[in-house]
Amino acid sequence: MNDNWKPYVEIDFSDPEAMQFHVDTRDFNVLANKNAPENAPDLTKIKRYPVRFFHTADEIVELLTRYHWGSGGQKQWRFFNLVGVDNWSMKYIRIYRTEHGLLVCNKDNIALSKEKLGADIDVEHL
């Protein structure tokens, strides 16, 4: 792991040393980081709902693949958003490793349920 942004398909989301991943949805490059996050969301409430919030590495790759190709595939830049999610809150997707699995958050570190993450891709500004 280093400080280089790489395409999401080159990232090992199952690497136990990677504690956080930052996905830039303008090009779907990812920065993996081995440091514990300083501002990750509080898990007190959401850990009671593991099926709704926590992902496996394979589920993360599947999610990012759907987002990448559903928003135009290989391109230099895009405005990515999901229907029903605030504008630009998905500019960066934050993914944190927890003892319960991988947790997906928007750029403001608000944890997103699998239901919300399963929303249609907003294609209005693509």
In whole angstroms, give the CA distance from residue 120 to residue 82.
Answer: 6
Is 21 in a helix, a strand, or coil? strand
Position 126 scores a pLDDT of: 65
Domain presence at residue 105: yes
Position 3 scores a pLDDT of: 60
Domain presence at residue 33: yes
Q: Which domain holds residue 76?
A: 6-117
List per-residue pLDDT tens for the chain, 126 residues long: 456 899 999 999 999 999 999 999 999 999 999 998 888 888 999 989 889 999 999 999 999 999 999 998 888 788 899 998 877 889 999 999 999 999 999 999 999 999 999 999 998 776
Domain presence at residue 101: yes
Domain presence at residue 31: yes
Distant-in-sequence contacts of 3-9, Cβ < 8 A, 24+ apart = 3/31, 4/31, 5/29, 5/30, 5/31, 6/30, 6/32, 8/61, 8/64, 8/65, 8/68, 9/61
Domain presence at residue 66: yes
Domain presence at residue 12: yes
Domain presence at residue 69: yes
Q: What is the pTM of this model?
A: 0.92
Position 82 scores a pLDDT of: 92
Task: Give the per-residue SS3 of 46-65.
Answer: HHHCHHHHEECHHHHHHHHH
Q: What domain count does the chain have? A: 1
Position 37 scores a pLDDT of: 86
Position 84 scores a pLDDT of: 84
Domain presence at residue 10: yes
